[in-house]
């Protein structure tokens, strides 16, 4: 209910801090969970003689059987890992984080950015992610009040921040985040909170096919893969949220975001004197967040050249 924008924004901001804290866990652990699941799938393929025969067209050797058994033992010996287990610990000394040391932003400030167990620094990325997530939640509540529409756009921001960070860290765009982005976009359109449903469906399809076509054309011309399938799904999700008319604007804004990220990395020395490949996902995710900050309705006025057929 939209009563006092500042109050709504403050309430949503508190929830944003909590979700930002959880997002730090997702960004850190989810790629590790995915990696472990892949190794388990590899082990299952190698351990089953019939599956091995079907995949490799030959039975497993004795040496491979022994190595596969050792792999299985190693995987079983690993401690449980999920978004809920184990409890958060200091990566340096293993100090278990107490509840009062895990309050978003405030605990980091109270601890002066250091572990209470060993005194080694805690990355400032944690409070930054929490603060940014809180800011986006507050923005959504300021613009749409404490409403389902605001919650939908807050979920949009949550997913994009997560995808941005995971792709920057690991060059991965997990289906568990890109698919919810797409389906939530279609559901939000069906509920009348974003764009007409027809535009959302066309935006999702056109967004996927646009990068799919670029990928295969680039591979045909160079023999190399210029991007991953996660990028197709991410642009499809953005197309579902903003509609088909916004796809060109999103691509253009993503190029600006990419330029800004490149300059920042040059300044901090991450790109100095070396050819470092850069994922495309953070540019797209950043473009989606920029469009949210600007406001979907104001994007055509700021980027009229991106709407050759007129604003939607």
Q: How many CA atoms lie within 13 A of 75 on its CB side?
A: 18
Higher-scoring residue by pLDDT: 231, 265: 231
Domain range list for the chain:
16-110, 147-303
Residue 285's pLDDT band, with cuts at 50, 70 and 90, is very high
- Mean pLDDT is lowest, of 205-209, 218-222, 300-304, 306-310, for 306-310
CA distance 145 to 127: 25
Give the pLDDT confidence of 66-116 residue by residue, as tens digits.
Answer: 888 888 888 888 888 888 888 888 888 888 888 888 899 999 999 998 988
Please provide the average confidence, as pLDDT, over all residues in the chain. 89
Range from 24-28, 117-121, 256-260 that averages highest in pLDDT: 24-28
Measured distance CA(299)–CA(34) in Å, rounded: 36
- Three-class DSSP category at 150: helix
């Amino acid at each position: 209910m939209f009563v006092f924008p500042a109050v709504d924004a403050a309430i949503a901001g508190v929830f944003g801090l909590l979700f930002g804290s959880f997002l730090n866990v997702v960004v850190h652990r989810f790629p590790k969970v995915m990696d472990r699941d892949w190794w388990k799938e590899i082990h299952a393929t190698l351990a089953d003689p019939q599956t091995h025969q079907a995949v490799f067209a030959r039975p497993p050797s004795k040496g491979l059987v022994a190595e596969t058994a050792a792999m299985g033992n190693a995987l079983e010996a690993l401690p449980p890992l999920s978004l809920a287990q184990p409890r958060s610990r200091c990566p340096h000394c293993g100090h278990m984080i107490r509840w009062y040391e895990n309050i978003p932003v405030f605990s980091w400030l109270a601890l002066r950015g250091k572990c209470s167990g060993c005194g080694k620094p805690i990355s400032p990325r944690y409070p930054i992610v929490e603060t940014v997530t809180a800011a986006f939640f507050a923005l959504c509540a300021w613009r749409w009040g404490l409403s389902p529409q605001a919650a939908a756009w807050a979920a949009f921001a949550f997913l994009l921040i997560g995808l941005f960070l995971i792709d920057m860290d690991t060059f991965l765009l997990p289906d568990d985040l890109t698919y919810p982005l797409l389906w939530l976009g279609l559901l939000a359109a069906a509920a009348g909170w974003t764009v007409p449903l027809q535009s959302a469906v066309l935006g999702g399809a056109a967004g996927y096919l646009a990068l799919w076509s670029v990928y295969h054309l680039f591979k045909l011309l160079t023999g190399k893969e210029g991007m991953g399938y996660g990028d197709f799904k991410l642009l499809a999700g953005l197309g579902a949220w903003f509609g088909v008319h916004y796809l060109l604007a999103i691509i253009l804004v993503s190029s600006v975001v990419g330029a800004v990220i490149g300059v920042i990395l040059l300044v901090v020395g991450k790109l100095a004197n070396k050819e470092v490949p850069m994922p495309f996902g953070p540019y797209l995710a950043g473009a989606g967040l920029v469009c949210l900050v600007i406001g979907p309705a104001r994007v055509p006025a700021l980027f009229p050249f991106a709407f050759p057929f007129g604003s939607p």
